[in-house]
């Protein structure tokens, strides 16, 4: 059995952080730099599931002095403005999952608000053998433990796994454990590289 493990944001789906920041700033009538600072300051706690969406919302609305009619559901919608779909990439992951002797997983540094959006808009994820969201497993890449947990759950050794991510630090962390690791730039490069590894 071989395992192909994908990062989610900017690999299987697009994510534009600037668009998220702009949407939140517009909704809250707040300076984009302040929004960026607030999101950066809470990123790890939110990504690890230590900060609940309602608490993030309260902090954001208070610090931005948002209009009184702005509700948390409005903020969550703006927070997901930068998330989208890549139909071709998602279809490829599902097609890989359906091949004999191939198992497919996803490891994503994300948060509860984005996970709710993903649940509604990415039914393809339910077809994969493993989907690990950082806020649900309380681990963030590049922590080695997140990769070791993925290998354990997929029941494969490091040498039988390929990890694909757009962040060099995450690729390096996986490679340090003996996992075959591929830096994603474009699907024109990544798809043949995955196929070559599977054929090897």
Report pLDDT for 8.
98
Residues of the chain with pLDDT under 70: none
Q: Which of 144, 76, 59, 146 is nearest to 107 (CA)?
A: 146
Report pLDDT for 182.
98
Sign for the CA dihedral angle at 85, 46, 153, 3 comes to positive
How do residues 86-117 score in pLDDT, each as one tens digit? 999 999 999 999 999 999 999 999 999 999 99
Q: Give me the DSSP letters along 62-110.
A: HHHT--TT--HHHHHHHHTTTB---HHHHHHHHHHHTSTTEEEEEEE--
């Amino acid at each position: 059995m071989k395992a192909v493990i994908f990062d989610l944001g900017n690999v299987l789906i697009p994510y534009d952080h600037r668009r998220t920041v702009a949407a939140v700033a517009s909704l809250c009538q707040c300076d984009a730099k302040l929004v960026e600072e607030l999101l950066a300051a809470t990123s790890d706690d939110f990504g690890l599931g230590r900060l609940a969406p309602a608490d993030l919302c309260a902090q954001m609305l208070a610090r931005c002095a948002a209009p009184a009619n702005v509700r948390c559901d409005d903020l969550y919608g703006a927070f997901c403005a930068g998330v989208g779909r890549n139909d071709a990439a998602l279809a490829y992951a599902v097609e890989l999952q359906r091949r004999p002797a191939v198992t497919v997983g996803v490891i994503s540094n994300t948060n509860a608000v984005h996970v709710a959006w993903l649940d509604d808009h990415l039914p393809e994820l339910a077809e994969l053998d493993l989907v690990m969201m950082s806020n649900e497993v309380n681990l963030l890449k590049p922590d080695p433990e997140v990769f070791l947990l993925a290998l354990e759950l997929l029941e494969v050794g490091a040498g039988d796994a390929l990890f694909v991510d757009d962040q060099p630090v995450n690729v390096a962390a996986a490679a340090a454990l003996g996992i075959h690791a591929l830096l994603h730039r474009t699907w024109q490069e990544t798809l043949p590289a995955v196929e070559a590894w599977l054929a090897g």
